[in-house]
Amino acid sequence: MTPQKHIAHSVCPHDCPSACALDVEVVDNTTIGRLKGAKDNTYTAGVICAKVARYAERIHHPDRLLYPLKRVGTKGSNQFTRISWDDALDEIGSRFNAIEAEHGATGIWPYNYAGTMGLVMRDGLKRLTHTKKYSRQYDTICTNMAWSGYVAGTGKLGGADPREMAKSDCVVIWGTNAVATQVNVMTHAIRAKKERGAKLVVVDIYQNDTMKQADMPLLIRPGSDGALACAVMHVLFRDGLADRAYMNKYTDDPAGLGMHLQTRTPQWASAITGLSIAEIEAFAHLVGTTKRSFFRLGYGFSRSRNGAVNMHAALCIPAVTGAWGFEGGGAFHSNSGVFTWDRSLIEGHDARDTSIRALDQSQIGRVLTGDRQALQNGGAIHAMLIQNTNPMSVAPEQTLVRQGFERDDLFTVVHEQFMTETAKMADIVLPATMFLEHDDIYSGGGHQHAQIGPKIIEPAGECWSNHEVVSAIAARVGAKHQAFDMSAREIADWTLQHSGYGTFETLVEKRWLDIQPPFEESHFLNGFGFENKKFHFKADWVSVPTKNNGLMGDVATMPDFPDHWDTTENADVKHPFRLATSPARSFLNSTFNETPGSIKKEGEPTVMLHPDDAASLDINEDDIIRIGNQRGDLRIKTRIFAGVQRGVVIAEGLFPNEAHLDGRGINTLTGADQVAPYGGAAFHDNHVWIVKV
């Protein structure tokens, strides 16, 4: 029976800190209309981004995958034939079993990320990995530098209630293009501006849509945030704006920090950041005289080889001013450490064996091309099972990634919603449900709601959910775990109950739970997350309580006090420019680069180049240039753009590789070397050469 047109409730499942609470117009049991942000959710506050508001064009897209497919042409030729689910699963089972028999279970590498943030659908693949003792995955592509930098200071991944931004007198948006990447930050920041006359400061490396709204735009050079933070704190100490009483009570070594900062003058930082001394002093005086200063620290500025140090350095500022003591003051990066999710059933922790290698997700190119170090001296990978991620587009060192996926002896299964560039490289492609077609539970790093998204409409075609696929493959490869025999709803219910968040039914009724800890705890007024309860100006990089698969990168030379750690991929004679690959507003990583609305908004790939740099190379608007470095090169169109410092170029993305003139996308230029201290990919830290073609 077709239900009446009505409004149902869900959560945006995409990899975005906002995890918006949604009101979904349901037309019938297979069709939706417009999506809106839930007005009564205090974080979403009725606002969602344009790309999700028009979700009907994604879920009802004519190119959605609807049936299992088997490759018939050569790898990557995009020639497939339709097969039945039974045939697809039988083939996967027999190939996986044969590979396990010949090469051992670690020859198989299940690979996933956060295409859906629903806990059951995102992470259930890990349960298959653990029960079968397949090679594990060490997640590195997104959060590592940011989280380790933040937790090195606070000891815990949490912070002031993000809604408090509306009660701030100065909101500092640092290294996040919130207008594009998490629009709800702006809702609360603009409220402070309108209702309290709060000042908006934006620290970024190009004049993006967020910086355009700033009262104080601070346009710095890539990777120079540590220098800026140090000079700001130098001025605070120098001009009597450091809160001695706060520091004595709540921080580890204010005297040591003060000594250390003596040489980190605005003049010193001006040369590194490219800001004027006056700009640095003005910023320092603003936050030094505004107790309710809220530091909203993003991911973008951590995607550099010195990103963890820079995150920690910026975070030190509110600990010097004592802003943490005030409502509307302090810092926030992510609430991911605040939720009490019990993930053990979903991920199969009882079967987890940490002696089995965990391969670096970002190094997929190296892993698949047999790099010994990336394989941790173990055997090659012979099969992959991929869900929720599109590494052929999003992973660094694309030249290697492509070579890897082209291997004839690699058996690749991709479970997807669209024929992505990764799916095109597969032997078997399986069609996946979208969030409105399955049950799941959610929490966003950018706020404090545990949420639920029950199944609202029937799956398109023969689409199966991630959980159904994982369970069906488990049956074929002899993996035993109670959760393979449960429904997604049962797993969600168990998880909610064991996390202290009620039941599936009660959460459907309530729609969300506000789990923000009390003010004193969020502001660390009962002490910070370390044993000594202090904020750590002196970072102990070797023992940050965060994601950890062993130390990585050049940890030995990491400064303990905040500093400019000169370890970025600097410009040199051969590579005079610095490239950042910042996210575009209408794409979400590589998602939405298939929807007509987003394609229309973003147009074609371009690189933004400063007018003086363009003139020096005799390059004009719309000229085609070649851009490259030691990892590869590609051709791309130029946009002349004055909103960067000289020597800095920006390529907003992610466009499909195919949208580029040579079929090579921007991640041809990005590196997969492991960033200190716990890994991660430095997507915005690339030196490049540019020539006109």
Binding site for ligand MGD (CB under 6 A): 15-16, 113-116, 121, 141-142, 175-177, 180-182, 203-206, 208, 220, 222-223, 225, 298-301, 303-304, 387-390, 394, 415-418, 420, 432, 466, 580-585, 587-591, 653-654, 666-667, 670, 683-684
CA 217 vs. chain centroid, Å, equals 24
Dihedral in degrees, nearest 10, Cα atoms 95, 98, 102, 106 = 60
Least distance to Mo ion, CB of residue 675, Å: 14
Cα–Cα distance for residue pair 646/401, rounded to 1 Å: 32
For residue 23, give both structure tokens.
């009101």
Least distance to Mo ion, CB of residue 181, Å: 9
CB closer to ligand MGD, 358 vs 525: 358
The site partner of 416 among Mo ion, ligand MGD, ligand SF4, none (C-beta below 5 to 8 Å per kind) is ligand MGD
Give the count of beta carbons closer than 10 Å to the beta carbon of residue 392. 27
For ligand SF4, the binding residues in 17-36 under the rule CB under 6 A are 18-20
Residue 293, CA distances (Å) to 172, 276, 278, 552 in order:
7, 22, 20, 34
Roughly what angle, to the nearest 10 degrees, separates helices 307-321 and 277-289? 50
Residue 49, interface with ligand SF4 (CB under 6 A)?
yes
For ligand SF4, the binding residues in 154-193 under the rule CB under 6 A are 182-183
Asked if 223 and 306 count as a contact pair (C-beta separation under 8 A), the reply is yes
Residue 48, interface with ligand SF4 (CB under 6 A)?
yes
Stretch that binds ligand SF4, among 15-23, 300-308, 369-377, 638-646 (CB under 6 A): 15-23
Residue 12, interface with ligand SF4 (CB under 6 A)?
yes
The site partner of 667 among ligand SF4, ligand MGD, Mo ion, none (C-beta below 5 to 8 Å per kind) is ligand MGD
Give the count of beta carbons closer than 10 Å to the beta carbon of residue 245. 9
CB closer to ligand MGD, 116 vs 629: 116
Least distance to ligand MGD, CB of residue 438, Å: 7
CB closer to ligand MGD, 368 vs 432: 432
Residue 424: phi and psi, rounded to 5, are -60, -25
Least distance to ligand MGD, CB of residue 51, Å: 7
Cα–Cα distance for residue pair 158/452, rounded to 1 Å: 22
In sign, the C-alpha dihedral spanning 10, 138, 425, 97 is negative
Least distance to ligand SF4, CB of residue 441, Å: 15
Least distance to ligand SF4, CB of residue 49, Å: 3
Cα–Cα distance for residue pair 68/57, rounded to 1 Å: 22
CB closer to Mo ion, 619 vs 666: 666
Comparing CA positions, the residue from 352, 208, 133, 343 lying closest to residue 643 is 208
Least distance to ligand MGD, CB of residue 95, Å: 19
Least distance to ligand SF4, CB of residue 655, Å: 18
Comparing CA positions, the residue from 322, 289, 47 lying closest to residue 166 is 47
Mark residues 574-613: x for contact with ligand SF4 by CB under 6 A, - for none.
--------------x-------------------------
CB closer to ligand MGD, 250 vs 418: 418
Cα–Cα distance for residue pair 551/555, rounded to 1 Å: 7
For residue 523, give both structure tokens.
């502001």
Stretch that binds ligand SF4, among 11-19, 427-435, 513-521, 629-637 (CB under 6 A): 11-19
Amino acid at 626: R
Stretch that binds ligand SF4, among 14-22, 349-357, 510-518, 638-646 (CB under 6 A): 14-22
The site partner of 183 among ligand SF4, Mo ion, ligand MGD, none (C-beta below 5 to 8 Å per kind) is ligand SF4
Task: Enumerate the H helices of 478-610 as residue ranges.
Answer: 488-499, 504-510, 519-522, 596-602
Comparing CA positions, the residue from 440, 468, 387 lying closest to residue 115 is 387
Report helix, strand or coil for 23: strand
Give the count of beta carbons closer than 10 Å to the beta carbon of residue 277. 16
Asked if 37 and 7 count as a contact pair (C-beta separation under 8 A), the reply is no
The site partner of 368 among ligand SF4, ligand MGD, Mo ion, none (C-beta below 5 to 8 Å per kind) is none
Strand partners, 11: 21
Least distance to ligand SF4, CB of residue 22, Å: 7
Cα–Cα distance for residue pair 495/666, rounded to 1 Å: 39
CB closer to ligand SF4, 52 vs 297: 52
Least distance to Mo ion, CB of residue 583, Å: 9
Cα–Cα distance for residue pair 675/311, rounded to 1 Å: 13
Comparing CA positions, the residue from 540, 561, 541 lying closest to residue 259 is 561
CA-angle at 301, arms to 295 and 307, nearest 5°: 110
CB closer to ligand SF4, 583 vs 677: 583
* HEC readout, 165-234: HHHCCEEEEECCCHHHHCCHHHHHHHHHHHHHCCEEEEEECECCCCHHHCCEEEECCCCCHHHHHHHHHH
Stretch that binds ligand SF4, among 44-52, 218-226, 373-381, 411-419 (CB under 6 A): 44-52
Least distance to ligand MGD, CB of residue 169, Å: 22
The site partner of 207 among Mo ion, ligand SF4, ligand MGD, none (C-beta below 5 to 8 Å per kind) is none
* DSSP state letter for 667: G
Least distance to ligand SF4, CB of residue 165, Å: 16
Residue 389, interface with ligand SF4 (CB under 6 A)?
no
CA-angle at 565, arms to 230 and 174, nearest 5°: 55
φ/ψ region of 146 (left if φ > 0, alpha if ψ in -120 to 50, else beta) reads: alpha
CB closer to ligand MGD, 182 vs 471: 182
Least distance to ligand SF4, CB of residue 115, Å: 12
Stretch that binds ligand SF4, among 47-55, 315-323, 485-493, 611-619 (CB under 6 A): 47-55
Least distance to ligand SF4, CB of residue 450, Å: 15
Least distance to ligand MGD, CB of residue 640, Å: 18
CB closer to Mo ion, 147 vs 494: 147
Asked if 175 and 302 count as a contact pair (C-beta separation under 8 A), the reply is yes
CB closer to ligand SF4, 54 vs 60: 54
CB closer to ligand SF4, 18 vs 361: 18
CB closer to ligand MGD, 111 vs 326: 111
The site partner of 281 among ligand SF4, Mo ion, ligand MGD, none (C-beta below 5 to 8 Å per kind) is none
The site partner of 19 among Mo ion, ligand MGD, ligand SF4, none (C-beta below 5 to 8 Å per kind) is ligand SF4
Which are the contacts of 260, defined by CB distance < 8 A and separation ≥ 6? 561, 563
Residues found near Mo ion in the complex (CB under 5 A) = 142
The site partner of 52 among Mo ion, ligand MGD, ligand SF4, none (C-beta below 5 to 8 Å per kind) is ligand SF4
Cα–Cα distance for residue pair 63/524, rounded to 1 Å: 49
Q: Which residues bind ligand SF4 (CB under 6 A)?
A: 12, 14, 16, 18-20, 48-49, 52, 182-183, 588
